[in-house]
Amino acid sequence: MSKTLFERIISREIPADIVFENEELLAFRDINPQAPVHVLLVPKRVVARVDEAQRSDRELLGNLLLAAAQVARQLGLAENGYRLVINNGADGGETVPHLHCHILGGRPLGWPPG
């Protein structure tokens, strides 16, 4: 199988502005930011999307959310708030088939999204 775009970022084949890394996760700034702070947090092990996650992925999924909160704090978003988004499938707006959590903040975000 060919590598996903995010695997190429994880392996440093494609440069990115990395803001956080540990042994199972990487966070980097989105190339097309939708807010003053827009970071993508991705597992290094590929799970295509939430819909394909298995029970065996539950620790990874939990760690993803905990790390998202940690990265948001690190980037100064905790006080005013922020949004976490996981797009799933075509109608969900998922364009890269490698699970990722968007961390968006730095301005008030409307609800519902368009």
Residues designated as active site: 100
- Asked if 18 contacts 30 with a C-beta cutoff of 8 angstroms, the reply is no
The minimum distance between CB 36 and ligand 5GP, in angstroms, equals 15
If the CB atoms of residues 14 and 60 are measured against ligand 5GP, the closer one turns out to be 14
Q: What are 105's two structure tokens?
A: 């903040």
Site residues (vs ligand 5GP, CB under 6 A): 5, 14, 16, 28, 30-32, 40, 87, 93-96
The minimum distance between CB 26 and ligand 5GP, in angstroms, equals 11
Distance (Å, whole) CA 62 – CA 108: 26
If the CB atoms of residues 5 and 69 are measured against ligand 5GP, the closer one turns out to be 5
The minimum distance between CB 87 and ligand 5GP, in angstroms, equals 4
Q: Where are the alpha helices (DSSP H) in 11-88?
A: 58-74
If the CB atoms of residues 12 and 55 are measured against ligand 5GP, the closer one turns out to be 12
Sheet holding 18-21, edge to edge: 18-21, 25-29, 37-43, 101-105, 82-85
Beta strands in 15-88 (DSSP E): 18-21, 25-29, 37-43, 82-85
